[in-house]
Amino acid sequence: MGNKTLAILKPDSVKKNYIGDIVKMILAAGFKIKGMKMIKMTPESAKLFYLVHKDRPFYNDLVEYMTSGPCVPIALEKENAVAEFRKLIGATDPAQAEEGTVRKLYAKDKAENAVHGSDSDENAAIEIAHFFSTQELV
Ligand code: CMP
């Protein structure tokens, strides 16, 4: 069994019909999907999910954007999942993301940046539990 990470295909990815292409990249990179669904986050859920950013100037805009339409949280498994997924998606700001990364290909800017990835094993566990119950994880 590998390590876990949480991905979210954010509202801009859903609106622009990028879900299939991004999931294809995730699977091609060797990740296993352990849970996946489409939801529309409530403001309460988004505020809690991004609580670490509550003092940042972009916090309210971030909550508004994450609740602006459906998104697709995905629980993923792979050896070294957190680092491997962050490598696949590239830098937060697509202008600084490497060629061939998800954000280079699909993100507009550092706010609407197509996809989320957990930043540590500890946060991955917390973030997966934010979206998925035990029976939703296969
Ligand atoms: P994510 O990896 O989901 O984690 C925090 C999110 O905040 C980030 O992706 C962006 O969507 C957003 N974010 C980070 N930095 C900025 C910024 N400077 N301006 C606006 N949004 C940001």
- CA nearest ligand 1 atom 12, residue: 111
- CA nearest ligand 1 atom 22, residue: 111
Which residue range(s) make up the domain with 96? 4-136
Whole-number Å distance, alpha carbon 53 to ligand 1 midpoint, is: 9
Contact 113, 13 (CB under 8 A): no
Distance of alpha carbon 34 from alpha carbon 4, whole angstroms: 9
Which of these is catalytic: 101, 116, 118, 132? 116
pTM above 0.85, yes or no: yes
HSE-up of residue 116 (Cα within 13 Å, Cβ side)? 26
**Active site includes 116?**
yes
| Domain count within the chain | 1
pLDDT in tens, the chain (138 residues): 789 999 999 999 999 999 999 999 999 999 999 999 999 999 999 999 999 999 999 999 999 999 999 999 999 999 999 999 999 999 999 999 999 999 999 999 999 999 999 999 999 999 999 999 999 999
CATH code, 15: 3.30.70.141
